[in-house]
Amino acid sequence: MFKLYEVDPDADTLLIVPAPPAPFAEWDDSAHHQSSGLTNGALSNGHHHHYASVHVNGINDGHGLANGLSKMSLNGSPSPPPPHPTPSPPLPDVRIKVSSKHLSLASRHFSNKIRHGDNARVQPDGRVHVRLDDGAVDPSAAVVVMNIIHGRGRKVPRFLDLDALAKVAVFVDRYRCHDAVEAYTDRWVGNLLQQWLDQGGSGLPEVYCRDLVLWIYVSYVFHQPDLFKRATAVAISKSSGPISNLGLPIREKIIRSINSQRQELIIQAVTIIRDALGSDNSIKSPSPTPVCTIGCDSFLRTAFAQSLARSCSITAESSPKALAAGVGFDAIAAAAREVEETHERWHANVGPLFAAALSFSSKPRKRKLSNTNPATAAPMTNEQERSQQHQPDSCVSRMQLTPALRDMEAQIGGLELESSLGYYLY
């Protein structure tokens, strides 16, 4: 069973696109603890409708292809899944009547297939049959790209949602036809971002989620350097490990670079916190310094360890490198904020009483002399010096960790898509 679409009436080639065997870019919620929820007015928790029908010129195709278009949402907002979704019938293969000349000009890959492929011979129907790999691309995306390649502008949608855009990106990336679709991809990306801005969003997801991974891939394939940099910056600060590729052909070098910068960020953040907390036998700081003069050093370290364990099940005794292997920046920032609040409560409630008791117990029990010579006066004890040097405001200000961490996060630049000389880096 198949569906036939005519892109070129005088076609000499039949492009055969097998139906995808699995949902597109499926997000595994069980593997990701950070739930994205509703982001930028679009559903971004991994439960998109992958096969939602569309209406084009009043025609609806139950299998998602209508007038050469796929199951793409043209309003940019996929409907939420039904409470009890019923299994969809298997999608049919798609056959598209196209021109070998147009295919060869748009893609060297297709040129080689038509000239030297296993089925390069003319078939009984008078056409060369070119069969794409099973599950390699979405049939809907193939129809859209074929309409672009053959100059059928009126058949090309003016707007694609993020899922549809990613499906087209997979086709373009696999068959290397970037130049042929460039004029349309710039418009699609711009329209989608503008719609999200109009809905009150920020354009890009602000958490690590399925949509963010799709944006990373789309911006890479369609060569959007600024968008790629912003999307990877969010992934660096919000992910807690190597990002998922969702089954997309995202370059391994991109995933490694994102994770490497994420680990560097975590190590810097943990170092800042441990420097502020000082050190003891369990928390080793590269530059041990006392935190407070009225006894909050030890319990602050304990508070940080407990907060970190609650946030990400990581022990504070771990090395910064070990911490970076399985924790996100947000968990570190949350643990730091708990330490700040605990420290502020200590100084507001317990600190003054502790300081007064320390000052009283430190007074020398000697007979008071009337004319004491300062030069011959007894030296102050260590407790007296600490009491006199204690400055609560300075101590509290030193433990303001959140601003420092947020400044660090704001300076994350993301990945550069190309070098200063214009060469692609990935």
DSSP assignment of 100-132 equals HHHHHHH-HHHHHHHHHSTT-SBPTTSSEEEEP
pLDDT band at 91 (very low <50, low <70, confident <90, very high): confident
In a domain, 250, yes or no: no
Q: What is the Cα–Cα distance from 404 to 390, expressed in whole angstroms?
A: 23
Query: Mean pLDDT across the stretch 268-292?
Result: 60
- For 130-186, the pLDDT digits (tens) are 999 888 899 999 999 999 999 999 999 999 999 999 999 999 999 999 999 999 999
Q: What is the Cα–Cα distance from 294 to 303, expressed in whole angstroms?
A: 17
Place of tokens 């059928």: 152
Strands 38-39 and 42-43: antiparallel
Q: In this structure, are 27 and 158 located in the same domain?
A: yes
- pLDDT value for 198: 85
Query: Which residues are CB-neighbours of 88 under 8 A, at least 6 positions away?
Result: 51
Residue 101 has pLDDT above 90, yes or no: yes
Residue 378 has pLDDT above 70, yes or no: no
Query: Which residues are CB-neighbours of 60 under 8 A, at least 6 positions away?
Result: 53, 54, 66
Average pLDDT taken over every residue of the chain: 74
Helix (H, G, I), strand (E, B) or coil at 418: strand
Say which residue, 349 or 366, is predicted with more confidence: 349
- pLDDT value for 21: 81
Q: In this structure, are 273 and 185 located in the same domain?
A: no
In a domain, 417, yes or no: no
CB 214 within 8 A of CB 166: yes
Q: In this structure, are 35 and 182 located in the same domain?
A: yes
CB 70 within 8 A of CB 56: no
pTM of the model: 0.73
Looking at the structure of the chain, the number of domains it has is 2
Of 189, 216, 247, which residue sits at a domain end?
189
How many other C-beta atoms can be found within 10 angstroms of the C-beta atom of residue 366?
Answer: 7
Residue 163 token pair: 């899922």
- pLDDT value for 283: 42
Say which residue, 120 or 115, is predicted with more confidence: 115
Of 149, 166, 189, which residue sits at a domain end?
189
Most confident of 79-83, 199-203, 376-380: 199-203
- pLDDT value for 262: 92
Q: Which of 87-96, 145-154, 184-193, 407-416 has the lowest mean pLDDT?
A: 87-96
In a domain, 384, yes or no: yes
Helix (H, G, I), strand (E, B) or coil at 271: helix
* Residue 116 identity (one-letter amino acid): H
- pLDDT value for 349: 72
In a domain, 217, yes or no: no
Q: In this structure, are 8 and 150 located in the same domain?
A: yes
Residue 39 has pLDDT above 50, yes or no: no
In a domain, 212, yes or no: no
Most confident of 23-37, 72-86, 93-107, 384-398: 93-107
Query: Mean pLDDT across the stretch 84-89?
Result: 59
Q: In this structure, are 164 and 310 located in the same domain?
A: no
Say which residue, 218 or 404, is predicted with more confidence: 218
* Residue-number span of the structural domain to which 323 is assigned: 266-362+379-410
Most confident of 186-195, 330-339, 348-357, 391-400: 186-195
Q: In this structure, are 10 and 111 located in the same domain?
A: yes
Q: What is the Cα–Cα distance from 320 to 236, expressed in whole angstroms?
A: 16
Query: Mean pLDDT across the stretch 95-106?
Result: 95
- pLDDT value for 327: 78
Q: What is the Cα–Cα distance from 22 to 25, expressed in whole angstroms?
A: 9
Helix (H, G, I), strand (E, B) or coil at 361: helix
* Residue 408 identity (one-letter amino acid): M
Residue 371 has pLDDT above 60, yes or no: no
Residue 15 has pLDDT above 70, yes or no: yes
Residue 62 has pLDDT above 50, yes or no: no
In a domain, 235, yes or no: no
Say which residue, 355 or 286, is predicted with more confidence: 355
Say which residue, 349 or 72, is predicted with more confidence: 349
pLDDT band at 79 (very low <50, low <70, confident <90, very high): very low
Place of tokens 């911006």: 219
Q: In this structure, are 34 and 175 located in the same domain?
A: yes
Query: Which residues are CB-neighbours of 129 under 8 A, at least 6 positions away?
Result: 13, 14, 16, 119, 123
Nearest to 167 by CA among 71, 236, 94: 71
* Residue 118 identity (one-letter amino acid): D
Q: In this structure, are 147 and 288 located in the same domain?
A: no
Q: In this structure, are 24 and 111 located in the same domain?
A: yes
Say which residue, 211 or 303, is predicted with more confidence: 211
DSSP per residue, 291-303? --SSS-HHHHHHH
* Residue 158 identity (one-letter amino acid): R
- pLDDT value for 396: 59
- pLDDT value for 296: 63
What's the N-to-C CA distance of the chain in angstroms?
40
Q: What is the Cα–Cα distance from 212 to 234, expressed in whole angstroms?
A: 8
Query: Mean pLDDT across the stretch 359-376?
Result: 51
In a domain, 136, yes or no: yes
Share of the chain above pLDDT 90, in %: 36
pLDDT band at 34 (very low <50, low <70, confident <90, very high): very low
Q: In this structure, are 167 and 315 located in the same domain?
A: no
Query: Mean pLDDT across the stretch 290-303?
Result: 60
In a domain, 122, yes or no: yes
Strand partners, 36: none
Q: What is the Cα–Cα distance from 7 to 338, expressed in whole angstroms?
A: 62
Q: In this structure, are 16 and 154 located in the same domain?
A: yes
pLDDT band at 191 (very low <50, low <70, confident <90, very high): very high
